[in-house]
Copies of this chain bind each other. A is one copy, B any other.
Amino acid sequence: MKKSQVTIKDIARQLGISASTVSRALQNHPDISQETKQQVSELAMRLRYQPNALALSLKHRRSKTIGLIIPEIVHYFFSSVISGIEDVAYEAGFTVIICQSNEKYDREVANVKTLMAQRVEGILVSISKETNDYQHLHDIRSSDTPLVLFDRMVPGLLADQVIIDDREAAYRATRHLIEGGRRKIVHFAGPQNLLIGQQRKEGYLQALREAGIAANPEWIIEADSFEKARNAVFRLLEAGSLPDGIFAVNDLTAIGAMKTLQKKGLRIPTDVAVVGFSDGRFSGITDPSLSSVDQHGYEMGTIATEMLLKRILSKENEYPFETKVLHADLIVRGSSS
């Protein structure tokens, strides 16, 4: 049970003036006398008056909030994105409502509903691994709420999108392995319904192709976690078909592979060179340190939010949707050289 907060009316009553005068005084309206302004702002201060943002939003039909739907906060990459988003939104005076989909489609749909009900002025989304149906995203658009997708994009969706050049980054990572003399390169791939999974595999394949190395379907293994990599490596060892290079869809997968190989007496990078895709602060910590693609999460967050705010604040109803492709850097470390 909380006592209701002080309102403009309370101030008006205590000062024997009308609510509208208080409102104007608080906004420093030129019509109001200095004296009244003084009294009002003093009393407001004393009573710790806080304007009710809900009432304001209702009145102005502008909530000054944006929504964010993210698969899982507990990932370094995503939490860096959030930091970028928060910082830009904060600067612009917007509040962010963050929802986690927990990689569940149903929850993602529910999140959209919540955010729309809260009348957020725009929504940032990175879709869940489960998401194959995009109706909820189309619903956002058809209510004319600006929408920006990041990292996990949906091709063909009428919305701004920010991604990194996954294909290019994967290509460079794989080429780097090839240039190091590796020929038998295994790819630990991510879910293929996500574009990032496809793209990273694409880049891998392209590098092989260019180098004249025939791609072997058995070298592409769907594994995107420490555990899965571990098991996959065991199977490779049993089959006696050891690779001399591994390109993994994320760092933890790369590390899972690396540690398992090491436990079995293989040397990294001498026997097997490993490259990951950054999703943590792990790269400097492993032994040897892990070569990895830096995804610039914070930057992605700032850019996505800037695009969203631009849409929100723009007068013109329509300008073409944009897909920004950020460059990702391959950072070569000990695990591959």
Contacts and interface: CB of A to CB of B under 8 A. Distances in A.
Contact of A315 (B1, B54, B80, B139): B1
Contact of A48 (B72, B143, B284): B143
Contact of A79 (B73, B255, B259, B284): B73
Given A2-B145, A83-B100, A259-B285, A63 B73 contact: no
B117 A53 contact: yes
Nearest to A314: B1
A42 interface: no
Contacts of A99: 86, 95
Contacts of A216: none
Given A3-B143, A315-B1, A80 B74 contact: yes
A14 interface: no
A110 to B, nearest CB: 8
Interface string A296-337: 000000000000000000111100000000000000000000
Given A79-B79, A82-B73, A52 B117 contact: yes
Contacts of A82: 73-74
A87 B229 CA distance: 29
B144 A54 contact: no
Interface in A86-134: 86, 95-100, 113-114, 116-119, 121
Contacts of A100: 83, 86
A192 to B, nearest CB: 25
Given A2-B145, A144-B2, A285-B255, A50 B113 contact: yes
A312 to B, nearest CB: 8
A95 B119 contact: no
A99 B97 CA distance: 9
A58 interface: yes
Nearest to A53: B117
Contacts of A48: 139, 142-143
Interface in A43-58: 48, 50-55, 57-58
Interface in A266-315: 280-282, 284-287, 314-315
A214 to B, nearest CB: 34
A119 B5 contact: yes
B95 A4 contact: no
Contact of A118 (B58, B95, B316): B95
Interface of A: 1-5, 48, 50-55, 57-58, 61, 63, 72-76, 79-80, 82-83, 86, 95-100, 113-114, 116-119, 121, 139, 142-146, 226, 252, 255, 259, 262, 280-282, 284-287, 314-317
Closest 10 CB pairs of A and B: A2-B144, A53-B117, A287-B287, A73-B79, A74-B79, A3-B144, A98-B98, A54-B57, A53-B118, A50-B116
Given A5-B143, A95-B114, 14 more contacts: A1-B314, A1-B315, A1-B316, A1-B317, A50-B117, A52-B117, A54-B57, A55-B58, A96-B98, A97-B97, A98-B98, A282-B285, A286-B286, A286-B287
